[in-house]
Amino acid sequence: MTADAPNSEVVTISRGTATEQIMADLQDQILCGKLPRGTRLPNEKELAQRYKVSPNTIREAVRGLAALKMVEPRHGAGTYVTAQAEVMFAAVAASVLEMQRISLFDVLSLLGVLQERAVVLACELAADEELVDLTPLLDKLEAAGDPGEFAERLEAFFGRLADTSHSPLIAFLTKFLMRLLVEVAREQAGGVRTEFAAKLSSDRRKLVDALMSRDAKAAVRLAALYHGHAEAMVRAVVAEHGDSGGDHVQQVYRRVRQG
């Protein structure tokens, strides 16, 4: 179910370009919750009257918001607020990685740091049932029947693990970086190499056991061990296919940015 945007007073444009100011004003309303997800924006004519600008200026502002994944124009139905934190974060972060040509191994290094911090916080903050729920995810992961299914379940496991940290920033970053790594594997090697990833099963089990015991020191050590083994396997795949930070990786960044 969707809702129309509430009426508001005329907004006077005073500094900067009209398009930029309209985008900023609408962004503010979306981010502070005045225009929640699912809200239909007023039509171009109504917005033009509100901001005292031409419909073309409104059209440009809406295009800009759509590029930021904050709204979605729907043919014949209007423009709707679609802002989701994960989607917006992925679009911005992938743009930065693409622009700076960040390598696959830089992504791996950051993921390792995040995972070590996540397990410390999980030992401190996670509820018992949150940690218990990790084991069925491992069981599903090991029962995966093909590389695509394995990749999906691997993302789910590490996403849930990141959630147990109770740090939204760590969770956002971890899920984003895991998605990038899986996409790179698909781009370069045709899928996550299950024969490699299966070798890490014991590491994952030991890590979950440490979390269940609330042993932060052991959890950090095991997270680092797991990451080191995973990085060695990624390097082996890259040695076969090359391009740890070149065209293939850039294509993945672009695909994730574009959604």
121, burial (CB in 10 Å: exposed 0-12, middle 13-18, buried 19+)? middle
Can you give the pLDDT at residue 220?
A: 97
Give domain 3-83's CATH architecture: Orthogonal Bundle (1.10)
Task: List the structure tokens of 98.
Answer: 């693409």
Question: Is the pTM of the predicted complex or chain greater than 0.95?
Answer: no
**Residues 54, 17 contacting (CB under 8 angstroms):** no
Residue 10 — left, alpha, or beta (φ > 0 → left; ψ -120 to 50 → alpha)? beta
Residue 142: which pLDDT band, with cuts at 50, 70 and 90?
confident
Residue type, 11: V
CATH 1.20.120.530 domain extents, the chain: 87-258
Q: Is 95 helix (H, G, I), strand (E, B) or coil?
A: helix
**What percent of the chain has pLDDT above 90?**
50
Strand partners, 81: 71
Q: Which residues lie closer than 8 Å to 6 by C-beta, 6 or more apart?
A: 34
**Residues 224, 250 contacting (CB under 8 angstroms):** no
DSSP 8-state code for residue 213: T
pLDDT tens for 96-116 read: 888 888 888 898 899 999 999
Q: Is 244 helix (H, G, I), strand (E, B) or coil?
A: coil
**Higher per-residue pLDDT: 258 or 140:** 140
Mean pLDDT of 136-156: 87
Backbone angles phi, psi at 103, to 5 degrees: -80, 165
The span from the CA of 88 to the CA of 36, in Å, is 15
Asked if residue 253 has pLDDT above 90, the reply is no
CA 195 to chain CA centroid, nearest Å: 26
Element counts in the chain: helices (H) and strands (E)? 13, 4
Mean pLDDT of 68-75: 89
Length of the chain: 259
Right CATH number for 87-258 from 1.20.120.530, 2.40.50.140, 3.50.50.60, 3.90.550.10?
Answer: 1.20.120.530
CATH 1.10.10.10 domain extents, the chain: 3-83
Mean pLDDT of the chain: 85
Query: Which residue reads 């509820």 in tokens?
Result: 127
Give the CA diameter of the chain. Answer: 64
Say which range, 77-81, 121-125, 161-165, 232-236, has the weakest mean pLDDT: 232-236
pLDDT tens for 173-230 read: 999 999 888 887 766 555 555 555 667 888 999 999 999 999 999 999 999 999 998 8
Query: Which residue reads 């992504």 in tokens?
Result: 107
Residue 170: which pLDDT band, with cuts at 50, 70 and 90?
very high
**Residues 175, 93 contacting (CB under 8 angstroms):** no
Sign of the Cα pseudo-torsion (36, 254, 165, 194, in order): positive
